Amino acid sequence: MKLWIVRTSDALEDDGPDVKKWRTAMLAEYADKLGHEVHWITSSFNHYSKCQRSDSDYTKKYGEHGIIHVLHTQGYKRNISLSRIRDHRQFAQKFVQWSEKQPKPDLIFCSLPTLEVSRDVTDYGKANGVPTVLDLRDKWPDVFISVAPKPFRWLASSLLSPYKKMLQYSCANATSLVAVTSSYLSWGLKNAGRDKSNYDKVFYLGSKPQKKLTSDSAMDPFWKDLGLSSYKHVICFFGTLGRMFELDVILEAAEYFENKRDDLCFVICGDGDNATRYKERGKNLSSVFFPGWIDHKKIQSLMQVACMGIAPYKRISNFEGHIPNKCIEYLSAGLPVLTSLEGEFSELIVDNGCGLLFDPRDVQTVISAIEGYLQSDNKENFNENALTLFSEKFNADDTYTKLVKHLELISDATKNEDKEL
């Protein structure tokens, strides 16, 4: 199968020596291992570091049978900006130009967002008789409407109506919708205006397992130098310090514990629009550390000595029923998850004994959850349960092998309409 994978923001292997492979990279890896000809079309702009990989288009061999096609776009400094809108439009335009010069694929797998390229991928599929699969990763543009101040949501809805039409058009004209959770698939089908078919399916995000180490001897010198070896209990977070997370309530909880426990610390890794404000608020807290952006190797070494991972998502429509990469990484290291998420993930971690919930508007719920965990005599059960849940639901080997097989079936079925999934 000649497979095109279209995704702008996942990291590439040459972005650095310790780059984490996300969903697109792992799909490409498993498809390549199963003998398919993979063409991954992506942008020259690194969404995470906000740096350019190149000042022009280029191609690079991938695995045994694949090629990465990097299309140059202008980039942007802020995630919410006109520059980002222009960058996404430019990528879609360049995809159209690139696709016109290529032999037809057997199937196109495209992540949504971005909306512009999702629309153009489904247009290409309709015009050329190629099946298209949209992977629903974020609820664009709905998320931007939900974070607007309530008095102005009508205005945000009006301004974003062209993007809503792109969403509905793309979902309605795709051959298949796949999603990271059941609620995301329902959202996509609602925007498509149709019922679920055999082509539509949920595939959780997957990650590679990693060994959980607990001894001080396993601590990376980076974390020792920061002072983490002085603490028995390390609670960690890594991510973009932006508008999607409610870290103020975590810092408020840290203030509470500052003079009550000398064996507990919080490590908040990352950078973003709110980083300066968070650092200012936490500057007088000796038990709160802000190491900035760290690479995947340091994330792994931090999780090896942590006792818990935080997933403090704001309660907005984009995260209703969502299961983010971050949560799965915590589980892969045997860490219980302290989260504000509601729906599918919160039910999974509570039912499987490896998670604690809090209300992002109520610091007392954070304090109670942490105290309950620290006072528990069954902390090791939390770790074991986290690893078990990860193995059963989120292991990359299982997830991406099944996803590739699903794409094979769609490709075969559209070549022979009598063949059933």
| Confidence label for 95 from pLDDT (cuts 50, 70 and 90) | very high
Backbone angles phi, psi at 268, to 5 degrees: -115, 105
pLDDT in tens, 345-395: 999 999 999 999 999 999 999 999 999 999 999 899 999 999 999 999 999
Q: Work out the average pLDDT over 30-56.
A: 94
For 88-92, which contacts have Cβ atoms below 8 Å and span 24 or more sequence positions?
88/8, 88/113, 88/114, 88/115, 88/116, 88/117, 89/116, 91/8, 91/43, 91/116, 91/117, 92/116, 92/117, 92/119, 92/120
Model pTM above 0.75: yes
Count Cβ atoms below 10 Å from residue 76 Cβ, excluding itself.
18
pLDDT at residue 418, as a whole number: 43
Is the separation of the CB atoms in 355 and 383 below 8 Å?
no
pLDDT in tens, 263-279: 999 999 999 889 999 99
Which residue is it, tokens 């997957």? 206
pLDDT at residue 218, as a whole number: 64
pLDDT at residue 211, as a whole number: 61
For the cut 90, the answer to whether the pLDDT of residue 242 exceeds it is: no
pLDDT in tens, 161-200: 999 999 999 999 999 999 999 999 999 999 999 999 999 9
Distance, CA of 125 to CA of 131 (rounded, Å)? 6
Percent of the chain at pLDDT above 70? Answer: 97
Buried b / exposed e across 313-344, counting CB within 10 Å, b at 16+? beebebbbbbbbbbbbbbbbbbbbbbbbbbeb
pLDDT at residue 415, as a whole number: 79
pLDDT at residue 244, as a whole number: 86
pLDDT at residue 14, as a whole number: 82
Distance, CA of 116 to CA of 138 (rounded, Å)? 14
For the cut 90, the answer to whether the pLDDT of residue 403 exceeds it is: yes
DSSP secondary structure, 308-340, as one string: EEEE-B--SGGGTT---HHHHHHHHTT--EEE-
For the cut 70, the answer to whether the pLDDT of residue 417 exceeds it is: no
Distance, CA of 180 to CA of 206 (rounded, Å)? 10
For the cut 60, the answer to whether the pLDDT of residue 212 exceeds it is: no
Domains along the chain with CATH numbers: 2-206+396-415 (3.40.50.2000), 216-393 (3.40.50.2000)
The token duo for 40 is: 């991954």
pLDDT at residue 5, as a whole number: 98
The token duo for 378 is: 């069954």
pLDDT at residue 11, as a whole number: 86
3-class DSSP state for residue 388? helix
Count Cβ atoms below 10 Å from residue 28 Cβ, excluding itself.
26
pLDDT in tens, 53-68: 999 999 999 999 999 9
Count Cβ atoms below 10 Å from residue 417 Cβ, excluding itself.
7
Torsion of CA 50, 53, 54, 57, to 10 degrees: -110
Please give the mean pLDDT across all residues of the chain.
92
pLDDT in tens, 106-143: 999 999 999 999 999 999 999 999 999 999 999 999 98
